[in-house]
Structure 1
Amino acid sequence: MNAADVMTSPAVVVSPATTVREASAVLGDHGFSALPVVDDEGGLVGIVSGADLLMAGMTPETANSPVARVMRKSVISAPMSATPAELTATMLSQRLRCLPIVSNGQLLVGVVSRSDLLRILTPADAVLAARVDAALRSYSGSPRWTVEVHDGEVSVSGPFADVAERKVVEALVRTVPGVRGTQVAS
């Protein structure tokens, strides 16, 4: 497994001519911490973070100025061949929330975020089990049932007050995104 398997691609990017206001809107709309800045050929020429934009201030003059005035031109990036361990080490040692992935030295092909790396560390079934468990705790107010997940198939076991509660739990489990099947047993 390498960066090409983990990265988000295509990356959401801005150009050096994008205004500070437009870049701020993109960051806010997507919830990103930073945006790669690319030239017309897709080459990585900088990065602009929310902190960069805040430090620039939002006066009418700076809001309409190009990102090129506030972006950082020195960008840490990684090649597509970088392993998850290498990506993690780089991100942690440099205190990065996202890491641009490049091909042929500068051509941006994607971005790896902390979330991307966490996803590969956590099996999908474990994530789904946690979501189902959270939904059931929200419904009941306490951990009343045992949740097991195998390949998206959810099994819930434990005591049910009656048949109606059992049906409610089964319906609730089916509403959790990613659930492929449900089995409820007392």
Structure 2
Amino acid sequence: MSSPAIAVSPGTTVRAASAMLGDHGFSALPVVDDDGRLVGIVSGADLLLAGMSPETAQAPVSKVMRGSVVSASATASPAELTATMLAKRLRCLPIVTEEQVLVGVVSRSDLLRILTPADAVLAARVETTLRAYSGGPRWTVAVRDGEVSVSGTFADQAERKVVEALVRTVPGVRGTRVAC
């Protein structure tokens, strides 16, 4: 979860909201009142649909935001957040207190990080590194507690050492074992 959430007020201009979305790479921004309560959401699609004429660019976000917002409780589990996001086809989900005060935003990538074991992420990074070196999948990668094992056929001892060195360059690798 991103917390504190980057949000805009209903009076923020469309141009300013558009710039914030672009600068931060978000798909949407929560809109909050002066007390921090969630009152709407404005997405990149909302802004594109509004157009960027000089009049629209200076209009307040309140003119283009959606006032009906799906949000989740700060006590929701990752499984509940995932179910809500999938059911509603959301890219991000504002997280609020009982009083509707915005405390953060959960994105799809936040949930993927939670739900994907660290070893699986590390294995994917190692496989990507080895594919970049070899031009395709040539070896089998297994990771357990940060210890990486690479098995398969190597052209010679020099290639085996290169693969071992490449694996060690991947952040998070605690140890390597390259087997022929």
Calculate the TM-score normalised by the size of structure 2: 0.89
Provide structure 1 residue ranges, at least 5 long, that are not aligned to the other structure: 1-6
Aligned to 1:178: 172
Relative distance call for 1:183 and 1:10 in structure 2 (3 A) is farther
CA distance in 2, matches of 1:53, 1:160: 53
Over aligned residue pairs, what C-alpha RMSD do you find?
Answer: 1.8
One of 21, 34, 47 as aligned partner of 2:15? 21
Give the letter for the 2:25 counterpart: G
Instruction: Trace 1:2-151 onto structure 2 (pairs within 5 A).
Output: 7-151=1-145
Q: Could you tell me how far 1:124 is from its partner in structure 2?
A: 1.3
Provide structure 2 residue ranges, at least 5 long, that are not aligned to the other structure: none
Give the letter for the 1:142 counterpart: G
Give the letter for the 1:115 counterpart: S
Higher RCO, 1 vs 2 (CA within 8 Å, ≥6 residues apart): 1
Aligned to 1:161: 155
Calculate the TM-score normalised by the size of structure 1: 0.87
**Does the CA-based 8 Å contact 1:79-1:105 persist in structure 2?**
no
